[in-house]
Amino acid sequence: MSEHHHQNPIAEPQVILELIRYDRSAYAKYTDLSVDDLLLQINPGEVNWINLDGLNNQTIIEKLQAHFQLHALLIDDVLNDQRPKAEEYDEYLFFTLKMLYRIDESGIDYEQISFVLGRDYLISFQEKEGDLFDGFRERIRLDQGKVRKKQADYLLYRLTDIIIDNYYNVLDKIGEEIESIEDDIQANPANRSFNRIQKIKKELIYLRRTVYPLRDALNKIIKGESEFINDENIRYYADIYDHVIHLQDSLDIYKDLTSGLLDLHINTLNTKLNEVMKVLAVISTIFMPLTFIVGVYGMNFENLPELEWQYGYYGTWGVMLLIVGGMVAYFKRKKWF
């Protein structure tokens, strides 16, 4: 893995404007209309979900802003990278968070998604084409579940819930990576393992910066008694809040595990270094008496009686081999190697 990467809105992604309009008995979807024609299709008596993929078309954004009387600061938050937050205005509720797709060798693939919730509409601003909602769009079309029987605030809950659920997939990948690194460290604590640990730490820091403000934003929605969230649906948002708390706990656990991996990496390196030093110490200890014997008989004194002995050379070798054999046997009995 590597550091997360973020696709900037100014990279000119394809702009897609879509309207899904529904109630208990009716459903309609518009994808090929201009922004002016699409705004004419909005029916205040139904739920109107307007989704914009790509934020580089200033004309579309300005017309949406004018039609729904969106505050300039809200548009600024939509167009720029923001921490997750919720703000209530007179006519709508603004909620922004990060939508995580996956984590792979190139890092975390994500984008910022912003919602504007009115009394009969929901606008979602996405930075690039594609999202996690295709399956849910089909459920709306087929009238599966509760969504067609509920208002726009329930739609916001379902979309947020889908986003939060995918956070778990990203965390699961990090958990698998941590297990893989642990196996690598025990097999071979090389620099590659250290680099992987450092990358995971950076990813966890980013996720913490994403999840912790999200908890505060959801808490603001739950405790703020927003007029845009029906009382019967508060419990659904409370359920998402519980999921975010669980994500925080998981992040804390992974943070501790990553710190443990660093300790394991260092300890394993030290253990292997100690093993090498032990082997070198044993070898040095074995050769010390041999060096002494060779040094004695390498002296240039005339009166060395063994020099005149016919079997002196072989005798010296025999003594040295006995010393080596004895020391090796002793070290093995002491389990030094």
DSSP track, 267-278: HHHHHHHHHHHH
- Measured at the CA of 38, the angle between CA 63 and CA 48, to 5 degrees, comes to 100
Contacts of 276 (CB under 8 A, 6+ apart): none
pLDDT recorded at residue 11: 43
* Distance between CA atoms of residues 272 and 70, nearest Å: 63
> pLDDT tens-digit profile of 109-153?
888 999 999 999 999 999 888 788 989 999 999 999 889 999 999
Residue 116's DSSP bridge partners are: 94, 123
pLDDT score at 319: 85
pLDDT tens by residue, 67-106: 999 999 999 999 998 899 999 998 999 999 998 887 776 6
Q: Which helix (H) or strand (E) holds 16?
A: strand 16-22
What pLDDT score does 214 carry?
92
**What is the structure's pLDDT at 184?**
76
Q: Chain-wide mean pLDDT for the chain?
A: 85
Confidence of residue 189 (pLDDT cuts 50, 70, 90): low
Which tens digits make up the pLDDT trace of 44-71? 989 999 999 999 999 999 999 999 999 9
Q: How far apart are CA 53 and CA 35, in angstroms?
A: 13
Q: Which of 131, 137, 66 is CA-nearest to residue 97?
A: 131
Could you give all domains of the chain from N- to C-terminal order, each with its CATH number? 5-268 (3.30.460.20), 278-333 (1.20.58.340)
Q: Which of 186-200, 206-220, 260-274 has the highest mean pLDDT?
A: 206-220
Q: Note the pLDDT tens digit of each residue in 162-173.
A: 999 999 988 888
- Tell me which residue of 73, 214, 88 sits closest to 153, measured CA to CA: 88
Tokens of 120: 């009969």
More confident residue, 82 or 312: 82
Residue 155's pLDDT band (cuts 50, 70, 90):
very high
DSSP structural state of residue 302? S
Please report the pLDDT score of residue 191 as a whole number: 62
Range in 14-18, 175-179, 236-240, 297-301 the model is least confident about: 297-301
Are 34 and 57 in contact by the 8 Å Cβ rule? The answer is no
Residue 140 makes CB contacts below 8 A (sequence gap 6+) with: 20, 22, 27, 147, 148
In 33-117 the beta strands, taken as DSSP E runs, fall at 47-53, 85-88, 93-104, 107-117
Cα torsion through 135, 137, 143, 145, rounded to 10: 60
CA 68, 71, 73: angle at the middle one, nearest 5?
Answer: 145
